[in-house]
Structure 1
Amino acid sequence: MISAFRLSGNRLEPLDASQALERADWIDLLAPSPEEVAAVARLGLDIPSADEMEEIEPSNRLFRRDGVDYMTVVLPVTREVPLPRVRPVSFILAPDRLVTVRHHPLRAFETFLANGEVPVSRDEAPAPEAILLGLMDAVVGRMADLLEASGRALDALMASIHAPGTGPGVNVLRGALASLGREGELVAQLRQALVTLERALGHCAASRAGVESSTEVLRFLQLEQRDIAALAVHADFLSARLGQASEVTLGVINLDQNNTIRIISVVTALFLPPTLIASIYGMNFAFMPELGWPLGYPLALGLMALASWGTWRYFRSKGWL
């Protein structure tokens, strides 16, 4: 799907299919068809395919060619997937337009389109750069929301793990451990996305250093870089908390399993003395005088009960029960 927009003041105006792409300040390609890629390529831009975007080495994701900046970052995709994943998104910043190439829907883009405003107007910065700043701001805001949501989920999980009273069961803890793993994967993916986004902003700022018309753009890029640095610290903090929560959950599960094993061991020990007595009288010796006693059977039963009671009393005195 191809979408085209033109910037009027500080608001985006969509262009319909009948209007030429040459008039667009921003062209957004979402899982484009070969025909759509060819239409944008006729504007003199190289449009990478999905495989090329996936295979681009981290060191080759940012480059400038013929006055056009090609920047590929990875952004989180959290909907309709079992586990959070990051997928590549390419930003092609030309002097007269911005082209974005993505193959998955992204909430940040939807939020930016719903808002329809850019942080700076065309009077303060060229239209493609103003739109890029708006997109970057939406992406950073989206990742901040994801980190906050992960923090709230972690708080809820920790509250369930440290529940008062008898505490949660093993099945609940196993579910909590799976949820912790998913949140940990999300935070790791966000941390990776922040690294690539920070490098892209640095590349964009470096290519505009010394350009008088880019003063407002550089100021905004510096603000975004500071926000990304703060989010990176937050992501590292959440990673440490998630590691601690996982260790606590595993510890509680081990304690519960150890308690079960302890109970089984005590029950086994209670039956050892009666088993010993029964084994003695089950031996096939020709001369066992107790076998001829009228009270031999009640005596054996009494010895078994007395031995079990004595073992139980001993365990109770040691605090093992």
Structure 2
Amino acid sequence: MAGVPSPFKSRKPKAPSPLPSRVRVPVERAIEHCRVFVDGVALPGEYTPAAAQQALREYGRGFVWVGLHEPDEHQMTTVAEEFRIHELIVEDAVQAHQRPKLERYDDQLFVVARSVNYRDHDEVDDKRQIISTGEVQMIVGGDFLITVRHRAKLPNLAYTIGEDQELVELGPVAMAWKVLDMLVDRYGEIAKLLAIEVDDLEEMIFTPDSQFDIDRIYMFKREVLEMKHAIAPLSDALSAMINNHKDLISKQIRSYLRDVNDHELVVKDQVKHFDERLTSLIDASVAKVSLQQNKDMRTISAVVGMWAAPTLVAGIYGMNFDIMPELHWAFGYPFAILIMVAVVGGLWLWFRKNHWL
């Protein structure tokens, strides 16, 4: 009706509520340590990155070591802005799926290495946890060292290494060398443990009439391959640090890195040798299983053959014919039994002579 307001008022659609902004975790959550080193000595206490930079300006010398644990993009960007780190380094540090490498950005070095951890196969439920790998990234500048840890099990490095005054006096590059040295030493320890396991597997496979689990060989083959892929590219990065960037790495540190590279090459060759030995063990175990199966089939065939002989005799004398040899003979039954025993005995002797039984 004209002039009468409708009882149903038109409703304007509500504007969609804005999505909640992503919560940014404070950068302090990702910082494991932030220490200032001056004249080879660590200043007491922990610092924020900004306070550490201020302390360096006040002393006019020294360097900062910041340790980060799995930072997100916001946290890493905040630290990068404080230390003027290249944006490409920030991207790699957050993604954390890098192979061991060395990259240079102006006067900064970005070093990536893999950590390797070993647990005995009897101690784990998931056999993929025997060898686990993590990632350690280091950003080395003139007055700072930033270490980023992803799934890597390491001690509190700033406190562990920072007690060595002579090493600290050599600056951030020396601290980065020490981290690499610790990682490679761990490679060597794990290689010794793997050597024991591979030796045990060889003894198990090549011992006559031994029972073995071929799945265990495949398991260690997979774990050795994982370690091989984790440590093999590091030698190229170490060679680049030794032969290049001499304006950033002193001659003394390069000599230390050369020693680390030698150890890494030794472990690399050992792991490669383990891989080859395990491949040979797989071939040997498959051949041994095939031989055992052939032996079992011969034994089964011999047993079936011995059972077939008395069955044949019983089948002949079980035929419904009235005129048959020895059918009405009083000793026919024991004679048939004697024939069966004699045939089975003869077959048994023949199979034994030919090693079928």
With the shorter chain as reference, the TM-score category is 0.7 to 0.9
Contact 2:41 2:165 in 1 (8 A): no
Partner residue in 1 for 2:127: 82
> What secondary structure does 2:172 align onto?
helix
Percent sequence identity is 24
Shift of 1:103: 1.9
Contact 1:69 1:93 in 2 (8 A): yes
Shift of 1:132: 0.2
Distance 1:64 1:299 in 2: 97
User: In the superposition, relative to structure 1, how do residues 191 and 287 fare at CA in structure 2: closer, same or farther (>3 Å)?
Assistant: same
Partner residue in 2 for 1:152: 196
Distance 1:162 1:224 in 2: 36
Amino acid at match of 1:69: L
Partner residue in 2 for 1:95: 142
Matched, 1:133 2:177: yes
How many residue pairs get aligned? The number is 306
Distance 2:38 2:141 in 1: 18
Distance 1:139 1:312 in 2: 64
TM-score, structure 1 normalization = 0.78
1:200 to 219, 232, 237: 237
Matched, 1:168 2:214: no
Q: How does 1:1-321 map to 2 (within 5 A)?
A: 1-3=30-32, 4-7=34-37, 15-16=45-46, 20-22=51-53, 25-33=64-72, 36-43=75-82, 44-45=84-85, 46=87, 47-48=90-91, 52-54=95-97, 61-78=101-118, 82-83=127-128, 84-106=131-153, 109-110=154-155, 112=157, 115-116=160-161, 117=163, 121-123=167-169, 125=170, 127-163=171-207, 167-169=209-211, 173-174=212-213, 177-209=214-246, 211=247, 214-283=250-319, 288=324, 291-321=327-357
Shift of 1:308: 0.6
Distance 2:241 2:41 in 1: 22
Shift of 1:77: 4.3
> What secondary structure does 2:196 align onto?
helix
> Aligned-pair RMSD on alpha carbons?
3.4
Contact 2:168 2:175 in 1 (8 A): no
TM-score, structure 2 normalization = 0.72
Give CA deviations for 1:125-160 in whole Å, capped at 9, x if unaligned: 3x2101101101101100011111111222233334
Give CA deviations for 1:194-229 in whole Å, capped at 9, x if unaligned: 3321122233334422x3871111211222222222
> What secondary structure does 1:29 align onto?
strand
Amino acid at match of 1:64: R
Higher helix share: 1
Distance 1:313 1:31 in 2: 73
> What secondary structure does 2:112 align onto?
strand
User: In the superposition, relative to structure 1, how do residues 213 and 280 fare at CA in structure 2: closer, same or farther (>3 Å)?
Assistant: closer
Partner residue in 1 for 2:12: none
> What secondary structure does 2:137 align onto?
strand
> Is there any run of 5+ residues in structure 1 with no aligned partner, and where?
none
Contact 2:93 2:137 in 1 (8 A): no
Contact 1:277 1:300 in 2 (8 A): yes
Distance 1:146 1:180 in 2: 17
> Is there any run of 5+ residues in structure 2 with no aligned partner, and where?
1-29, 56-62
User: In the superposition, relative to structure 1, how do residues 167 and 67 fare at CA in structure 2: closer, same or farther (>3 Å)?
Assistant: same
